[in-house]
């Protein structure tokens, strides 16, 4: 009896090889759906009842509809991607940088010119505070210009990329779990079918008219004693056809079905009276002889 678990295990290497070629979830889900279809096709080629095959088709359809919820994620990788031809941009300085720089230069130039003037003329010591103040202002404005000279960070035009590796072993285990559940449900259906068949068989056996069956057994035993005669052969044929229409089969003796016969010594070897069966279940033992 074929099972979805055995089908999947036989197809494991090929299935894992196909899964390993996928780098995203959507192709993986499609591959899992294809595997369920292959499993169902192989299962339907087996010797199963229509009820079992129909139930298997419904359960496989349900499993395929649930594949979108598979947890396939494995290790995630992140990186930045910059388009070809994009050049890194420099950040812009604050507009105050130029103002502070110009003021610093003016103050420094003014201090230098004043010192030159004082050097040419007879300076008054009280006038020295003016160039000194200009130098200090030039230094202060230079400091402000230096602070304002820092460029702002350029705009990041790169694209953040992410790739999630598919965990093929996790996918295989999920499919295997679904196969095990389907097999368990199908086993329950098979058990129910066997119970129902046994119940119907018992009802059929109980419905058999024992007196009628005994009468046909005596008639066949008498006819088998003279079966070479045309009338006996015709009687045997008619009785067997009548019983067959009532789902009762007559079976002649053989080594394989010897358990269905009582053996007695007789001159002639073979069947003295056929056994009565229905669907392989004995209703009445036959009579046979090994001969002398």
Q: Between 254 and 118, whose confidence is greater?
A: 254
Q: Does one domain contain both 61 and 176?
A: yes
The count of structural domains within the chain is: 3
**Predicted TM-score (pTM) of this structure:** 0.48
In this prediction, residue 13 has a pLDDT band, given cuts at 50, 70 and 90, of very high
Q: What does the pLDDT look like over 174-196, one tens digit per residue?
A: 888 889 999 999 999 888 888 88
Q: Does one domain contain both 174 and 134?
A: no
- Over range 203-207, report the average pLDDT: 65
Least trusted range by pLDDT, from 116-130, 200-214, 222-236: 116-130
- Over range 26-52, report the average pLDDT: 89
Q: Does one domain contain both 43 and 188?
A: yes
Quote the pLDDT of residue 97.
Answer: 67
Quote the pLDDT of residue 165.
Answer: 66
In this prediction, residue 241 has a pLDDT band, given cuts at 50, 70 and 90, of very high
Report the DSSP pairing between strands 73-81 and 159-166.
antiparallel
Please determine, for residue 71, whether its predicted confidence score (pLDDT) is greater than 70: no
Q: Between 257 and 105, whose confidence is greater?
A: 257
Q: Does one domain contain both 169 and 74?
A: yes
Supply the mean pLDDT for the chain: 78
Q: Determine, yes or no, domain membership for 91.
A: no
Question: In the chain, what percentage of residues exceed pLDDT 90?
Answer: 17
Residues contacting residue 288 through CB under 8 Å, at least 6 positions apart: 253, 258, 261, 262, 263, 264, 270, 271, 272, 273
Q: Determine, yes or no, domain membership for 276.
A: yes
Q: What does the pLDDT look like over 72-117, one tens digit per residue?
A: 655 555 555 665 554 545 556 666 767 766 777 777 776 666 666 6
Q: Does one domain contain both 176 and 73?
A: yes
Q: Determine, yes or no, domain membership for 86.
A: no
Q: Does one domain contain both 14 and 49?
A: yes
Q: Does one domain contain both 133 and 65?
A: no
- Over range 50-55, report the average pLDDT: 89
Please determine, for residue 206, whether its predicted confidence score (pLDDT) is greater than 70: no
Q: Determine, yes or no, domain membership for 230.
A: yes
Quote the pLDDT of residue 82.
Answer: 60
CA–CA dist 273, 292 (Å, integer): 18
Q: What DSSP letter does each residue of the chain carry, written as one string? A: ---HHHHHHHTHHHHHHHHTT--SHHHHHHHHHHHHHHHHHHHHTSS--HHHHHHHHHHHHHHHHTGGG---EEEEEEEEE--TTPPPPPPPPPTHHHHHHHHHHHHHHHHHHHHHHHHHS---GGGGHHHHHHHHHHHHHHHHHHHHTSPPPPP--PEEEEEEEE-HHHHHHHHHHHHHHHHHHHHHHHHHHHHHHHHHHHHHHHHS-HHHHHHHHHHHHHHHHTTTSHHHHHHHHHHHHHHHHTT-EEE---STTGGGEEE---SS-EEEE-EEEETTEEEE-EEEE---
Q: Determine, yes or no, domain membership for 54.
A: yes
Q: Does one domain contain both 189 and 242?
A: no
Quote the pLDDT of residue 79.
Answer: 52
Q: Determine, yes or no, domain membership for 108.
A: yes
- Over range 23-28, report the average pLDDT: 80
Q: Determine, yes or no, domain membership for 61.
A: yes
Domain containing 191 equals: 4-79+162-198
Q: Is-contact 164 73, C-beta < 8 A?
A: yes
Quote the pLDDT of residue 74.
Answer: 55
Quote the pLDDT of residue 34.
Answer: 92
Q: Does one domain contain both 143 and 189?
A: no
Question: In the chain, what percentage of residues exceed pLDDT 70?
Answer: 68
Q: Does one domain contain both 221 and 285?
A: yes
Least trusted range by pLDDT, from 6-20, 120-134, 170-184, 273-287: 120-134
Q: Determine, yes or no, domain membership for 269.
A: yes
Q: Does one domain contain both 243 and 123?
A: no
Q: Does one domain contain both 28 and 169?
A: yes
């Amino acid at each position: 009896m074929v099972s979805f678990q055995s089908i999947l295990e036989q197809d494991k290497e090929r299935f894992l090889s196909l899964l390993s070629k996928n780098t995203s979830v959507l192709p993986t889900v499609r591959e899992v759906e294809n595997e369920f279809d292959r499993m169902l096709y192989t299962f339907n080629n087996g010797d199963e009842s229509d009820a079992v095959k129909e139930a298997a088709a419904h359960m496989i359809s349900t499993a395929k509809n649930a594949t979108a919820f598979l947890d396939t994620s494995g290790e995630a990788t992140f990186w930045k991607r910059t388009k070809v031809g994009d050049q890194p941009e420099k950040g812009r300085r604050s507009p105050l940088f130029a103002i502070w720089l110009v003021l610093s230069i003016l103050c420094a130039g003014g201090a230098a010119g004043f010192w030159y003037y004082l050097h040419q003329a007879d300076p008054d010591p009280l006038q020295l505070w003016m160039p000194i103040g200009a130098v200090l202002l030039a230094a202060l404005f230079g400091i402000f210009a230096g602070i304002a000279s820092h460029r702002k960070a350029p705009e990041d035009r790169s694209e953040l990329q992410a790739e999630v590796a598919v965990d093929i072993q996790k996918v295989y285990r999920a499919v295997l779990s679904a196969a095990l559940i389907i097999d368990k449900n199908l086993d329950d259906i098979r058990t129910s079918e066997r119970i129902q068949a046994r119940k119907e068989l018992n009802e059929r056996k109980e419905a058999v008219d024992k007196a009628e069956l005994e009468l046909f057994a005596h008639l066949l035993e008498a006819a088998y004693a003279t079966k070479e005669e045309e009338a006996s052969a015709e009687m045997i044929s008619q009785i067997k056809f009548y019983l067959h229409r009532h789902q009762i089969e007559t079976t002649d003796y053989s080594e394989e079905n010897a358990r269905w016969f009582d053996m007695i010594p007789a001159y002639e070897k073979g069947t003295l009276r056929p056994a009565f069966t229905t669907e392989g279940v004995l209703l009445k033992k036959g009579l046979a002889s090994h001969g002398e």
